[in-house]
Amino acid sequence: MSMILFACVVRVRDGLPLSASTDFYHTQEFLEIRRRLKTLALRLAQYPGRGSAQGRDFSIHFSSSGDVACMAICSHRCPAAMAFCFLETLWWEFTASYDATCVGLASRPYAFLEFDSVIQKVKWHFNYVSLTQIGSSLEKIQEELDVQPPAALTLEDTDVANGVMNGHTRMHLEPAPSFRMEPVTALGVLSLVLNIMCAALNLIRGIHLAEHSGQVAHEEIGNILAFLIPFIACIFQCYLYLFYSPARTTKVVLMLLSICLGNVYLHGLRNLWQILFHIGVAFLSSHQILTRQLQEKQSDCGV
């Protein structure tokens, strides 16, 4: 039995079906899961980028970006990574064929009927291709799911969603945004290297000073902290550049202040040029963090 049973492309803002695979299954349970998928499609605008509704024998998975979402019904044996890899491939194929204007102007269901054959082709590929052929893509998707799990729904949530549209109740979802940063630039790599070097210098000096702290005055404790706090700040700057974090601007300012104040405090243990170097690297790293933005999610899952 195939693991991916049905797939469709819908418009996010109103759940309008744009294209769908041929339906070969007519059991009562499958028809019920199809009905629930249609109900979920009407609520996609309020969902995060990825989500799953797990049933006993079937699961619904969806992945959206912009005004286009891809949805699938899979057997319970289908790994989540494969389902989302399939959906992102489908999304990429559709958006490469139709622009946002075409999607926005669609006024009738299944306006892009000719795309059905592409859905069938991609679905067949994922159902029958060897896992080793898409192993790297599955690993990448699995890593993303580990960091940002999809919204976890139950099939009963689809009935709740239907009740929301009738004004009866409110549904709760776990937020699970999927963030991807712009590619790392050459200047960004330079800032990382310099930041790691500054962190290493701070750590070495701090440890060296701590080894002799028992033989000197207690004022040395301040100097030790002035080395170790900027060390932690440098490492955290590297993290902020590589990965998205909420309240990023506030964290960048705090790290920059920690490094600047620590190096000013160390005047006497470091000369002016050394202090300016550390502060300059901190400013460069802060600039690189704030200029590296989120990007639209793309798919590396080829067909």
pLDDT of residue 49: 86
Averaged pLDDT, 95-103 = 90
Non-local CB neighbours of 91 within 8 Å, separated by 6+ positions: 9, 63, 64, 65, 68, 69, 70, 299
Half-sphere exposure of 126 (CA within 13 A, CB side): 29
pLDDT of residue 28: 83
Give backbone dihedrals phi and psi of 115, rounded to 5 degrees, phi first.
-80, -10
pLDDT of residue 156: 65
Residue 266: pLDDT band by 50, 70, 90 thresholds? confident
Residue 298: pLDDT band by 50, 70, 90 thresholds? very low
Averaged pLDDT, 125-142 = 79
Dihedral angle, C-alpha 80, 82, 87, 90, nearest 10 °: 180
Could you report the per-residue pLDDT of 23-56, keeping only the tens digit for each?
677 778 888 888 999 999 988 888 888 998 887 7
Q: Rounded to whole angstroms, what are the CA distances from 219 to 93, 240, 301?
A: 64, 32, 58
- d(CA 21, CA 15) in angstroms, rounded, equals 16
pTM score of the predicted model: 0.53
pLDDT of residue 175: 39
pLDDT of residue 118: 92
